[in-house]
Amino acid sequence: MKRVKRIIFLLLIIAFIGIQFIEVERANPPVTADINAPTEVKNIFKSSCYDCHSNETVWPWYSKIAPISWLIVKDVMDGRKDLNFSEWEKLYSDNRNKLKKEILEQINKDEMPPSFYTIMHPSAKLELIQINIIKKWAISD
């Protein structure tokens, strides 16, 4: 039994090392049309949203370790697809307004930034003051 356990453990280690060689792309494409919002608004987005909703993702060390890396890369890709502050100024104003509404909704429901993210990035958690600043911006023009 001891021997079987040892072999299983060894196989797991080998598998863990093996998956490190599967390549995933952690790309930060160029920033072409970064959002033009008041500094106080933009700073909040930068500290709480940019890791998943911009092309300026700061990739943490654990984003280089499979299989966590796969989850993080997927999150960033999905996040950018829905909302990318680095390409905001390219959007038609209709789409911008739609996104503003969605930002309001996500913040009202306390769904963004996701809780698994704020565990690792406590300072990204939105404070009431910050929430109010974003709300004011989101309902403006």
Burial class (CB in 10 A: 0-12, 13-18, 19+), 25: exposed
Residue 100 CA to chain centroid, in angstroms? Answer: 17
CB 73 within 8 A of CB 62: no
79 lies in the site for ligand HEC, by CB under 6 A: yes
Contact with ligand HEC (CB under 6 A) among 11, 13, 26, 82: 82
Residue 17 or 82 with smaller CB distance to ligand HEC: 82
Task: Select the span of 4-12, 59-67, 74-82, 87-95 touching ligand HEC (CB under 6 A).
Answer: 74-82
CB 104 within 8 A of CB 139: yes
106 lies in the site for ligand HEC, by CB under 6 A: yes
CB 32 within 8 A of CB 85: no
CA trace torsion 55, 62, 26, 23 (10° rounding): -170
Residue 32 or 43 with smaller CB distance to ligand HEC: 43
CB 53 within 8 A of CB 84: yes
Q: What is the size of the binding site for ligand HEC (CB under 6 A)?
A: 18
Residue 58 CA to chain centroid, in angstroms? Answer: 9
Task: Select the span of 1-9, 62-70, 72-80, 87-95 touching ligand HEC (CB under 6 A).
Answer: 72-80
102 lies in the site for ligand HEC, by CB under 6 A: yes
Per-position x/- string for 37-56, each x denoting binding to ligand HEC as judged by CB under 6 A, each - no binding: -----------xx-xxx---
Q: What token pair was written down for 34?
A: 């970064």
Q: How far is the CB of 90 from ligand HEC (least distance, A)?
A: 17
Give residues in contact with ligand HEC (CB under 6 A): 48-49, 51-53, 75, 78-79, 82-83, 102-103, 106, 112-114, 117, 126
